[in-house]
Amino acid sequence: MTSETAQLTIDGVVYELPVVESSTGEKAVDIRSLRNQTGCITLDSGYMNTGSCISNITYLDGERGILRYRGYDIADLAKNCIFIEVAYLLLTGELPTYDELEVFKRDMRRYALIHEDMIHFFDHFPPNSSPMSILSTMVGTLHDFYPEMDLDEDPYGGITTTTARLLSKIRTIAAFSYKKNVGHPLVYPRVDLNYCSNFLNMMFDRPIMPYNVEPLMVSALNKILILHADHEQNCSTSAVRLVGSSGAGLYPSISAGINALWGPLHGGANVAVLRLLETIRADGGTIDKYIARAKNPDDPFRFSGFGHRVYKTYDPRATIVKEICHDIMSSLEIQDPLLDLAMEIEEKISKDEYFISRNLYPNVDFYSGIIYRAMGIPTNMFTVMFALGRLPGWIAHWQEMNNNKESRRIGRPRQVYQGVAHRPYVALERRQ
């Protein structure tokens, strides 16, 4: 709390509201007492100006293109860490020591299997089910298969067995959903492989075509998951916090986050980008036609992969994703016409007044799909990959919310009602 106050005048009466300051100097008007003091509420559709909580996890400055987890720049983490090291950081607040990381790695291996009865569930989803619906369902059912998990009270370094198990098992669920989708036998997790290698092996190993884990792919996957690991109060994280605020356990809360991520304006954008690139290519690569559509106010079409609610400059994650994309393509000598098309689109859009004036830059999803394609991951799994990456952030926010008396309050926005104020009941026989 600062000594500053904000003054608000309603009907000639001046109210003083406290001003709170973030550790990086941004100010916020604290309206927690507003309704008690004034009888008024605030209206903020889309929560464009609403801070829903005080958080210590991730710092984002959309004007300057800064993203930091627990104070560390995203570029440093992506360059130097493996994914579960960053997961540990998000969950505990500190990077692990060598020994702590070894324990965490051991637990990722130890908890990788899922209950055998859960495997029958995969058989009963209709063919071509969305891997996102399978993922959210299976994560929800963990609550029933591991009921004791929500109750354990034995955290090491702030990480409970519950969270370690969820982080580990989600990979297995994701890979199994893919295997079922393509009709291949399931590949169980291996005790000798680390987090990302194990996932790639479960995805791509086949009885007659053994998979050789490619270090470049492992490194790229580690980086891309790190870039997605948290992004403060976005739509899915807010969903996790909101559902969790009702007292729902970790699994139902994370399941809600997965569903919120699914939409094309959020995590589903990586699928939408690939589909758009394929459409434009099939249409003869006519970029201008699609740019004109994006600019037409009467056409709901948008360029997926461009724009962001908070970034008003280049998304720092997009810069790194683009580099990873080029590294993979050149190291593996992969020619992908969709990458050339994506670069051409970015080039055109970066010079177009419509996009410049609205601060519409590529976001993290613009190039990520091209990397996933190079890894052999099918388009319908892209948003699942995002969920794997975002999981530590969701869990960290769920924990933070539960450990804080103030933010543990049930999330319950108000509304400005503009329907009919009141009218007398009309009996059925008298209604026209």
Q: How far apart are CA 407 and CA 121, in angstroms?
A: 36
- Closer residue to ligand ACO in complex, CB, 43/420: 43
313 SS3 class: coil
Q: Which residue has the tokens 């291949």?
A: 184
Which of 308, 322, 373, 397 lies at the binding interface for ligand ACO (CB under 6 A)? 308
| CA R_g for the chain | 24
- Closer residue to ligand ACO in complex, CB, 177/237: 237
- Closer residue to ligand ACO in complex, CB, 270/407: 270
Rule CB under 6 A: which of 69-108 touch ligand ACO?
A: none
Q: Which residues contact 210 (CB under 8 A, 6 or more apart)?
A: none
Our finding on whether 198 is near ligand ACO (CB under 6 A) is no
Q: List C-alpha distances in Å: 408 to 77, 251, 398, 403, 412.
A: 30, 17, 10, 7, 11
Q: How far is the CB of 425 from ligand ACO (least distance, A)?
A: 40
Rule CB under 6 A: which of 339-398 touch ligand ACO?
A: 358, 360, 363-365
- Closer residue to ligand ACO in complex, CB, 68/308: 308
List, in sequence order, every residue forming a beta bridge with 6; answer none if it has no partner: 17
Query: Which residue in the shown chain puts its C-beta closest to ligand ACO?
Result: 307
Site pattern 240..269 for ligand ACO (x: CB under 6 A): -------------------------xxx-x
Q: Are 74 and 317 in contact (CB under 8 A)?
A: yes
The piece of 59-67, 299-307, 329-337, 368-376 that touches ligand ACO (CB under 6 A) is: 299-307
Q: Are 407 and 53 in contact (CB under 8 A)?
A: yes
Q: Select from 309, 341, 307 the least CA-distant residue to 325.
A: 341
Which of 143, 302, 348, 408 lies at the binding interface for ligand ACO (CB under 6 A)? 302
For helices 215-228 and 83-92, the axis angle rounded to 10 degrees is 20
Which of 307, 369, 392, 393 lies at the binding interface for ligand ACO (CB under 6 A)? 307
Q: How far is the CB of 208 from ligand ACO (least distance, A)?
A: 37
Among residues 107, 205, 230, 365, which one is catalytic? Answer: 365
Number of residues that bind ligand ACO (CB under 6 A): 18
Q: How far is the CB of 229 from ligand ACO (least distance, A)?
A: 12
Task: Mark whether 365 is an active-site residue.
Answer: yes
- Closer residue to ligand ACO in complex, CB, 258/364: 364
Rule CB under 6 A: which of 265-294 touch ligand ACO?
A: 265-267, 269, 294
Task: Mark whether 308 is an active-site residue.
Answer: yes
- Closer residue to ligand ACO in complex, CB, 104/361: 361
Among residues 308, 326, 340, 352, which one is catalytic? Answer: 308
The piece of 100-108, 135-143, 251-259, 301-309 that touches ligand ACO (CB under 6 A) is: 301-309
Q: How far is the CB of 150 from ligand ACO (least distance, A)?
A: 28
Q: How far is the CB of 261 from ligand ACO (least distance, A)?
A: 8
**Total Cβ atoms within 10 A of residue 11:** 6
Q: Select from 181, 161, 203, 124 the least CA-distant residue to 385.
A: 203
Q: Are 308 and 363 in contact (CB under 8 A)?
A: yes
Q: How far is the CB of 349 from ligand ACO (least distance, A)?
A: 9
- Closer residue to ligand ACO in complex, CB, 62/158: 62
Which of 305, 369, 389, 392 lies at the binding interface for ligand ACO (CB under 6 A)? 305
Q: How far is the CB of 295 from ligand ACO (least distance, A)?
A: 7
Q: Which two structure tokens, joined as six digits, stand for 177?
A: 């959903």
Q: Are 276 and 293 in contact (CB under 8 A)?
A: no
Continuous H helices in 46-97: 74-80, 83-92
Laid out side by side, the sheet with 58-61 consists of: 58-61, 66-69, 72-73
**Secondary structure E strands in 281-392:** none
- Closer residue to ligand ACO in complex, CB, 4/347: 347
Q: Which residues contact 77 (CB under 8 A, 6 or more apart)?
A: 69, 86, 89, 226
- Closer residue to ligand ACO in complex, CB, 60/364: 364
Which of 59, 306, 367, 398 lies at the binding interface for ligand ACO (CB under 6 A)? 306
Q: Which two structure tokens, joined as six digits, stand for 211?
A: 């998979």
The piece of 77-85, 127-135, 275-283, 304-312 that touches ligand ACO (CB under 6 A) is: 304-312
Q: How far apart are CA 253 and CA 245, in angstroms?
A: 9
What is the CA angle 124-161-235, rounded to 5? 65
- Single-letter code of the amino acid located at 347: E
Active site residues: 308, 365
Q: Which residues bind ligand ACO (CB under 6 A)?
A: 265-267, 269, 294, 302-309, 358, 360, 363-365
